[in-house]
Copies of this chain bind each other. A is one copy, B any other.
């Protein structure tokens, strides 16, 4: 058996799985943002006709899956595993969204890092010979997330400048052993990094050290540098977290100033959309990657991308108990062959 590990925590895929297609369903605000035209469906009512925000989120996930299967021309019966999760308690956004599919389900919890986590595990399962086709799915919803993590919307709490705006939407990617599309050639799964941040309105700062840790490890393990990528994109650190990552990597001798951005700054126009430090939520990296970045990869406008989705692993309850917020970041290298 070939050992696919390089360095401390990176694996290279011997038979790089192909991202065959994606499905993206976005909320109204996301549809009005700078990359709105890249989404398959924009739900003008933000709920797709559902009666609760939680049911709405599951509805988004269900629709994103169906869009992805349809666009790839792959029947759901051919998909060997679906990997996914979300921010809702017990990951119900995903599980209720996908239960109609009847696909073997490996539930993941990576908070807002779930899109990269799902891509990483799906790619490993295909490369390892366990699957011909896999799907990776995630979702988030502004209303269900605010209610669960911060305050009920009806309370009308003021948001500080460091706050981020949870993205409403769902994204699904379908991966295959072979076919047309960019491939996943290399993965660096992250470890938990906790620098003691306790402010639930400053998630970017909580997650940035984890992103910096995974990025540094990825460069050290692979011998690659930022210049080896057309675009390095973190999950949802927003403006504050992005600047922290640039500073941290600079100290370690890596210059991210040229080709690095954050999904939270791509998906919304902070100037006109009142999103403060930027977008967040599982669907932030989900929609930005599966909608915008995947489209640029397919067109050849990008050829080498490092997606480093980030998650903060706290619950509202443990933060109330005085705990800090641990972060994690998973990196997936995606290339056109």
Residues of A within 8 A of B (CB): 1-5, 9, 11, 14-15, 51-52, 54-55, 80-81, 85, 87-92, 95-96, 98-99, 101-111, 117, 121, 124-125, 127-132, 177, 189-192, 194, 313-318, 321, 323, 326, 328
Which residue from chain B places its CB closest to the CB of A84 in the assembled complex? B109
Contact B326 A95 (CB under 8 A): yes
Q: Which of chain B's residues have a CB closer than 8 A to the CB of A313? A: 90-92, 95-96, 107
Residue in contact with A192 in the complex, picked from B51, B105, B177, CB distance below 8 Å: B105
Q: Which of chain B's residues have a CB closer than 8 A to the CB of A54? A: 317-318, 321
Q: List 18 A-B contacts (CB under 8 A).
A: A1-B129, A9-B104, A54-B318, A55-B321, A85-B109, A88-B317, A90-B109, A90-B111, A90-B314, A92-B317, A95-B326, A96-B313, A96-B318, A99-B194, A106-B110, A107-B328, A121-B121, A124-B125
Q: Which of chain B's residues have a CB closer than 8 A to the CB of A107? A: 85, 108-110, 117, 313, 328
Q: Which of chain B's residues have a CB closer than 8 A to the CB of A132? A: 3, 5
How far is it, in angstroms, between the C-alpha of A129 and the C-alpha of B101 when the chains are bound?
30
User: Which of A98, A107, A326 has its CB near the most chain B CB atoms (within 10 A)?
Assistant: A107
Q: Which of chain B's residues have a CB closer than 8 A to the CB of A85? A: 107, 109
How far is it, in angstroms, between the C-alpha of A313 and the C-alpha of B127 when the chains are bound?
29
Contact A321 B194 (CB under 8 A): no
Residue in contact with A314 in the complex, picked from B92, B108, B117, B318, CB distance below 8 Å: B92
Which residue from chain B places its CB closest to the CB of A52 in the assembled complex? B321
Q: Which of chain B's residues have a CB closer than 8 A to the CB of A81? A: 189
Which residue from chain B places its CB closest to the CB of A114 in the assembled complex? B107
Contact A105 B190 (CB under 8 A): yes
Inter-chain pairs besides A5-B132, A55-B318, 16 sampled, C-beta below 8 Å: A5-B80, A9-B104, A14-B129, A52-B321, A55-B323, A88-B317, A91-B109, A92-B317, A92-B318, A104-B190, A105-B189, A106-B108, A107-B110, A107-B313, A124-B130, A127-B128
